[in-house]
Structure 1
Amino acid sequence: MSVRRTALIAWDYPPSASGLAIAAREIAESLVEAGIDVTVYTLDRNGRSEENGVTIVGAVPERAGADGWLRKRMVLGHLVAPRWFARTVAADHAARPFDCLEATNWYAPGALARRLPDLTFVTRHSTPAASTGALNGSLRDRLDGRFACRLEATSARRSHGHIFNTAAHGEKICALYGLDPGAPRAVIGLSLPPERLARASGAAYPHAAGRNNDPVEILFVGRAEVRKGFDCLLGAVDILSRETASGTLPDFRLRLVGIDAGEVAGLAPETGRHVETLGRLSDTALDDAYRRADLVAAPSRYESFGLVYQEALAFGRPVVGLAVDPSARQVIGESRAGLLATEASGPALADVLRPAISDPALRLECHRQALAAAGRFSRRSLSEGTHALYSAARDYRQYQGR
């Protein structure tokens, strides 16, 4: 059954630079390019606007009232945003029905909107809360996280269809949530924005033979989180900085995007000499950082897709990551566009960074493989796969009578 009008629930939307925001825009604009009417509901703004054919609606009420107080409270606070989304979507759905509603699994923003009548609900699965530390910390934090994870699982199990970014990601999510094996599911890779691909196209890589003995530049884009492998990265840099000081390894510099100086203030002086913090960058400044880089370090323990992997490949930059991440094994390992450490530790990451720093020929070969792997996911493949899954989910909902 064809889908002509759809809604997406997103926590935020560009100009926000979060991975979920960028993914939401790619999904929405790819569907618009395929002729589908798309409305995105988000919590990072008020009012209603239109951008590149996408209607964007802020779901935050003008006066939050008691909800604003409750949202900051443990457990039940997780239901406030889903209620705001449900109320806003319901008004538009009553005036002009949507064929389908899509939401991320992350903290289940569509948990209540999925109950709207005559509406197919699809979950596009990102990183689950359980993989971002929601179940760690104090007793209060663990209880709060347990509720959030249960809300995610309940919402996902009642979806009429599921979208995963990679097959390995899908297997993990199905096991974690206990998903209905009969519900339609599809593996659909996300695309990069056309303007970013255009800026990355033809990015030269003059670095393989060295740059007048300048340090080898390693770029990290992310947050100082365990999931992002930041602890492994700092551990590896500490090891390699001592080797550089002894003259057994060429000099290198680690440039950190998204990291402030205070987050690396505890580094030993010899290690800190190799580290430069850049904070948050604009899109054009980030593009320049990719062009300057010899290598991209992306040692995530888990990524549902891996936006940084895709950006690095688009610029033809070799990636050093962790084999424990299924997305890294698929995107980087299978394409041979970089090197993967066998375990999530500083010494293991140092073992793959070492040859990448010292061997220009290895970097050049990985650069060539990165260029060959770039561009596998387009807006056309994204929209075609999404529309097909939406249609299958609608058929499944009608068959199930729910």
Structure 2
Amino acid sequence: MRTALLAWDYPPSPSGLSTAAREIAESLAEAGTDVTVFTLDRTGREQIGGVTVLGIAIPPESLLSRLRLWGTVGHLAAPLAFRKSVLAEHARAAFAVVEATNWYAPAVLLTGRRDLPIVTRSSTPAAFTREGRPNLRNRLDGAAADRLERRQARSSAGLIANTAAHAGVIAQAYGLSGGRPEAVIGLSLLPEIAAAARAAPYPADGAGPVRLLFVGRAEARKGFDALLDAVAILAAEQVRGEFPPFSLELVGVPPGDLPADLSDAARSRIRARGRIDAEGLAEAYAGAHVVLAPSRYESFGLVYQEALAYGRPVVACAEDASARAFVGAPEAGPLARAATGPAVAEALRPLLRDPALRSAYRARALTAAGRFDRTSLGRETLDLYRRAIDQAR
């Protein structure tokens, strides 16, 4: 089977979408599939991990690049670029199926072709990541993006969700009525990362501050506001000597994203590193006593899976169904009752005080790790592809 995968970016880019794209593509390649990844973050053609990676970056001075600057219609620039490149490759050697994320609908202009079924694998919809009170232009822009995502999902020959709860959220968000093949398929971790994680020793207790780690963006969906509020609360308590010192490393968050009104006590405990490479991320996980991931919503939660692989206790949030399934159910870490500063502080406080409790959570985290691997990811994805192809005929 010859397949295509549309990606906004691809490793070594460190984004969650690029990491997922690599795992999907390489799992399919290991299952014997001829995979071509189309990605907008580079140019040229290369072979990576048994996968053909075709860079189709939009030239800065092109008409499509200028189109991107326009509100609402600018969201069509990337789908136009994907459509042109995919159809050119399809004419040269036909694809059996094309997979794309729902995020900003990269495959929306490829739907409706009987010779080229589209499968949408849904991450978090773009609407779920917007914050604040947008002005009229941004509201119209967001509404246009939402319409494109709905159109791609509704016109897809097959749908994939990372969890059953996420499938329900997507169906409601896009007004899906069923009638097409669907599957719930968890994402895998890079095998080398999983192996290195299992081999990483837990940091010694009592040799310095309790080291906390956050991996993600400074946005409300990730619970970043609740995280900083919790750190401010706990920093004030630590000054009074109520538990040992602690530090917080922020990966994916540059210093400029820290709020100006953050207390000095909290700021002194935080190191904001911005985006780092895979080696730096591995070192960050290996050096952490506890991983903080108080997201309000995750479509899957790769950070949960990475933290479990390293055997790190995870402080997550009960508002997120993935956290309840992957962290709460195996008791791999405490769940804050809500994404608020006091609730996150309440969940974290016992871990700061008690090394034995951290060790107990570590043991359960290691037991819970490894639920998803490339073999199952590739096999289940190909099964959904075949059902989608059959229905499209």
- Structure 1 residues 229-268: Cα deviation after superposition (integer angstroms, max 9, x where no partner): 1100000011111111111222111111122222226221
Counterpart amino acid of residue 379 in structure 2: E
Q: Residues 131 and 220 of structure 2 are in contact (CA less than 8 Å); yes or no, is this contact kept in structure 1?
A: no
Q: Gaps (5+ residues) in structure 2?
A: none
Aligned to 2:110: 113
Equivalent residue, structure 1, for 2:138: 141
Contact 1:134 1:142 in 2 (8 A): no
Aligned to 1:157: 154
**Is 1:26 aligned to residue 20 of structure 2?**
no
- Between 1:125-134 and 1:146-155, the stretch displaced more is 125-134
Question: Paired residue for 1:99?
Answer: 96
Q: Distance in 2 between matches of 1:278 and 1:68?
A: 30
State the shift of 1:64 in Å. Answer: 5.1
Corresponding residue of 1:198: 195
Distance 2:265 2:43 in 1: 48
- Which of 260, 268, 284 is the aligned partner of 2:263? 268
Q: Distance in 2 between matches of 1:64 and 1:370?
A: 49
2:125 aligned partner, one-letter code: P
Shift of 1:134: 7.1
Contact 2:226 2:341 in 1 (8 A): yes
- Which of 222, 225, 228 is the equivalent residue of 2:216? 222
CA distance 1:138–1:62, shift in 2 (3 Å): closer
Could you tell me whether the CA contact under 8 Å between 2:163 and 2:185 is conserved in 1? yes
Partner SS state of residue 43, structure 2: coil
Which of the numbers 278, 293, 297 marks the counterpart of 1:298? Answer: 293
Residues 29 and 54 in structure 1, CA contact (< 8 A), matched pair in contact too: yes
CA distance in 1, matches of 2:227, 2:357: 20
Return the offset for 1:381: 0.5
Query: In structure 2, what residue type is equivalent to 1:11?
Result: W
1:188 aligns with 2:182: no
Q: Which amino acid aligns with 1:313?
A: L
Counting aligned pairs with the same residue, the percent is: 54
1:206 Cα deviation from its structure 2 partner = 4.5
Secondary structure at the counterpart of residue 23 of structure 1: helix
Q: Is the 8 A contact 1:46 1:62 kept in 2?
A: no
Matched residues, number: 392
- Rounded Cα–Cα distance in structure 1 between residues aligned with 2:242 and 2:258: 25
Quick check: 326-335 or 194-203, which moved more? 194-203
Q: What is the aligned partner in structure 2 of residue 240 from structure 1?
A: 234
Unmatched 5+ stretches in structure 1: none
What's the C-alpha RMSD, in Å, of the aligned pairs? 1.4
Q: How does 1:1-16 map to 2 (within 5 A)?
A: 4-16=1-13
2:247 counterpart of 1:253: yes
Change in 2 beyond 3 A, CA 1:134/1:86:
farther
Quote the offset at 1:172 in angstroms.
Answer: 0.5
How far apart are residue 117 of structure 1 and its match? 4.3
Distance 2:342 2:388 in 1: 46
Q: 1:350, CA displacement in angstroms?
A: 0.6
Contact 2:112 2:155 in 1 (8 A): no
Please name the residue that 2:333 is paired with: 338
Return the offset for 1:136: 4.6
* 1:102-137 Cα deviation digits (max 9, x unpaired): 000000000012244411110000010110107951
| Segment of structure 1 superposing worse, 309-318 or 134-143 | 134-143
CA-to-partner distance for each residue in 1:344-387, whole Å, 9 max, x for gaps? 11011111011111121211111001100111100000000100
The TM-score normalised by the length of structure 1 is 0.94
Name the structure 2 match of 1:17.
14
1:38 match: secondary structure: strand
CA displacement 1:268-299 (0-9 Å, x = unmatched):
11121221222222211211111111100011
In structure 2, the residue corresponding to 1:372 is in which secondary structure? helix
CA–CA distance in 2 between the matches of 1:160 and 1:297?
Answer: 38
Answering whether residue 52 of structure 2 is matched by residue 58 of structure 1, we say no
Report what 2:365 is aligned to: 370
- Partners of 2:228 and 2:57 in 1: CA distance: 39
